[in-house]
Structure formats: structure tokens, C-alpha cells
Amino acid sequence: MSTILVIEDNKDNMDLIKEILEDAGYEIFGTETAENGIEILNRGIKVDIILMDVSLPKLDGYEATRRIKENPRLADIPVIMLTAHAMEEDRDKGFEAGCNDFLTKPVDEELLLQTLAKYL
């Protein structure tokens, strides 16, 4: 079973994403802040992929992705941005930060599962 870390500060979005992923057979760790997400990773919890919101309190998803990718122990974990920021410059900024893929909200269940399958 693959494990996904979901970093999402909106409870409704988190609930929807968890439901989709758990129904598809994934194990989920969810947190509302990037700081907590990075702490989960630093504790050595094995995560196969990260779904990262962009608009997070304090530390945004771009900076969190940079920090994850700068850590040699974590750098190989794929990060998929999942955000309402859908402009081309948002995508570019995500890829510059080190994300592996970029999906927009509202969540397209089929596209989300296809994208995860590509990396798992």
C-alpha cells in the first residue's frame, strides 16, 4: 500500500482528498501546515508521494517544496502541487520550486488518481 502525505489547510478539501485516496486504497497522512508536513517527513515516516497545497498559513507550498527537495533524504519523494492557483506563472513557480506535477482545484478525481499512478 502506498502512503501519501496530504498538506492541505482547508478542511473540506482535505476531507474530499482523503475520501478519494482512501477509497482508492492509499494510506493517508494529513496535515494543515507545511511545517507539520516537513516534521512528519523528518521523523522518518515513509511517504511515497506528497500532495501539496500552495496557499498555506506561514510557510507556503512553494517554499515547503523547496525545503523538501533540498534535503537529500527527502528529495526523491515526488511532490504534486494541488492548488486553486491555476495561472501559468503559478505552474512555473511550482516547477521552479521542485514539484514534479501540478494539478488544479476543484479536484478532478480521475486526473488525480492517474497522476498518482504515474509516480507510484
Summarised one tens digit per residue, pLDDT across range 73-114 is 999 999 999 988 878 999 999 999 999 999 999 999 999 999
**Would you kindly state where each structural domain of the chain is located, as residue ranges?**
3-119
pLDDT beyond 90 at 12: yes
Half-sphere exposure (Cβ direction) of 59: Cα atoms closer than 13 Å = 16
Summarize pLDDT for 24-67 with one digit per residue, the tens: 999 999 999 999 999 999 999 999 999 999 999 999 999 999 99
**Beta-strand pair 49-52/101-104:** unpaired
pTM of the model: 0.95
What average pLDDT does range 8-20 have in this prediction? 96
Block residue for cell numbers 494543515 = 32
Which CATH number applies to 3-119: 3.40.640.10, 3.40.50.300, 3.40.50.2300, 3.30.365.10? 3.40.50.2300
Of 97, 33, 43, the C-alpha closest to 73 is 43
| Residue 80 CB-half CA count within 13 A | 23
Give pLDDT, residue 49: 98
For residue 103, the cross-strand partners are: 82
